[in-house]
Amino acid sequence: MSLRGQTAVVTGAVMGIGRAMVEILLQNDAKVALLDVNKSGGESLTEALGKQYGSQNVLFLDCDVESEEQFKAAFKRAVDAFGQIDIVFNNAGILNEATWEKTVSINLLGVIRGTYLALEHMNKTHGGRGGVIINTGSMAGLGPFSCCPVYTATKHGVVSFTRAMASASTVSGYGVRFNAVCPGFVQTDLFSNIPIRLGQYSHMADATAQLVKKMGVITPSQVAEAVLEMVTDETKNGEALMVMPKGKEYITFPNLISPNK
Ligand SMILES: NC(=O)c1ccc[n+]([C@@H]2O[C@H](COP(=O)([O-])OP(=O)(O)OC[C@H]3O[C@@H](n4cnc5c(N)ncnc54)[C@H](O)[C@@H]3O)[C@@H](O)[C@H]2O)c1
Ligand SMILES: CCCCC[C@H](O)/C=C/C=C\C=C\C=C\[C@@H](O)[C@@H](O)CCCC(=O)O
């Protein structure tokens, strides 16, 4: 399905899952604003993508999702450049139990901030034209992961915030769909130097490595394909899509109001 005429904003766009999402969006004719703290990497990537897909279709914006000022300015520059925002992928995230406050700030507060700033431009009740927001959770957002309790908390927060926003949007008439992607282990930079990233839980690195062997590892492109499905399927709202080597699966959550159903 072509995304021609649509504009996307991707955070954490320079590497890993975010970069794969940028490329699949461009392959499907969307215009893409790449937001990342990696300025040199972002500028060189955007130059290369511009040569392949047209410089008018890509824009790099130096943006730290921890900064309201930078994030707000980046959204405005994207709208100024492309006219509107239809798709947002709040993807920027880190794994570091030693710097757990920063992990919360980026992984959870950054997603909330990106969601609220996106709604300022997309919300139909505020003159926007609707669209879809995809937030990056994790398998660690669906079950407790003992080697990284704070990371687990941030990802559970992302999944639940996304599902709550999906309901709020429906009730409020925002015209914006919200979905979470929950990958297993993905071969990216975040998935390297794991003992250091585990901080006080580094003694669990061996057990974690065993879990990796059991669960397998997927590619960033496999995640991007899953995200694209939730972008293009307009029936998807409030979903959490698990992506594993064995395939994709939409999660069914317990009905807390009528638990027996
Ligand atoms: N790799 C995995 O196994 C895995 C699995 C499930 C979910 N995730 C999630 O996927 C997302 C992307 O992770 P990845 O594996 O591609 O990691 P990565 O480290 O390869 O890429 C992360 C990107 O985000 C950028 N970034 C970091 N902090 C930022 C900030 N404050 N503001 C803006 N950009 C920032 C980095 O510069 C980098 O380009 C994260 O939210 C991560 O938690 C990763
Ligand atoms: C150490 C690398 C972490 C990468 C983080 C990234 O988000 C990938 C996560 C991938 C899989 C997570 C699986 C979590 C499973 C838990 O719900 C639970 O089943 C694990 C049980 C064993 C344990 O160590 O807790």
Catalytic site positions: 151
Question: What average pLDDT does this structure show over 217-226?
Answer: 98
> Collapsing DSSP states into helix, strand and coil, what is residue 41?
helix
| Ramachandran assignment for 88, one of left (phi > 0), alpha (psi -120 to 50 degrees), beta (any other) | beta
pLDDT at residue 258 is higher than 90: no
pLDDT at residue 261, as a whole number: 66
Q: What is the pLDDT of residues 101-112, one digit of tens each?
A: 999 999 999 999
What's the CA gap between 16 and 117, in Å, rounded? Answer: 24
pLDDT at residue 2 is higher than 90: no
Q: Is residue 122 within 8 Å of residue 128, measured between CB atoms?
A: yes
Q: Which of 145, 189, 213, 218 to mutate to test the pocket of ligand 2 (most atoms within 8 A of CB)?
A: 145
**Which amino acid is residue 178, in one-letter code?**
F
What's the CA gap between 177 and 114, in Å, rounded? Answer: 14
Q: What is the pLDDT of residues 42-90, one digit of tens each?
A: 999 999 999 999 999 999 999 999 999 999 999 999 999 999 999 999 9
Q: What is the pLDDT of residues 238-257, one digit of tens each?
A: 999 999 999 999 999 998 98
Q: What percent of the chain has pLDDT over 90?
A: 97
- Please provide the average confidence, as pLDDT, over all residues in the chain: 97
State which H helix or E strand residue 131 sits in.
Answer: strand 131-136
Q: What is the pLDDT of residues 155-181, one digit of tens each?
A: 999 999 999 999 999 999 999 999 999
**Which amino acid is residue 102, in one-letter code?**
K
**Which amino acid is residue 46, in one-letter code?**
T
194 touches ligand 2 (CB under 6 Å): yes
145 touches ligand 2 (CB under 6 Å): yes
**Helix 149-172, helix 110-122: angle, nearest 10:** 20
Residue 236: which residues within 8 A CB-CB, separation 6 or more? 177, 179, 229, 230
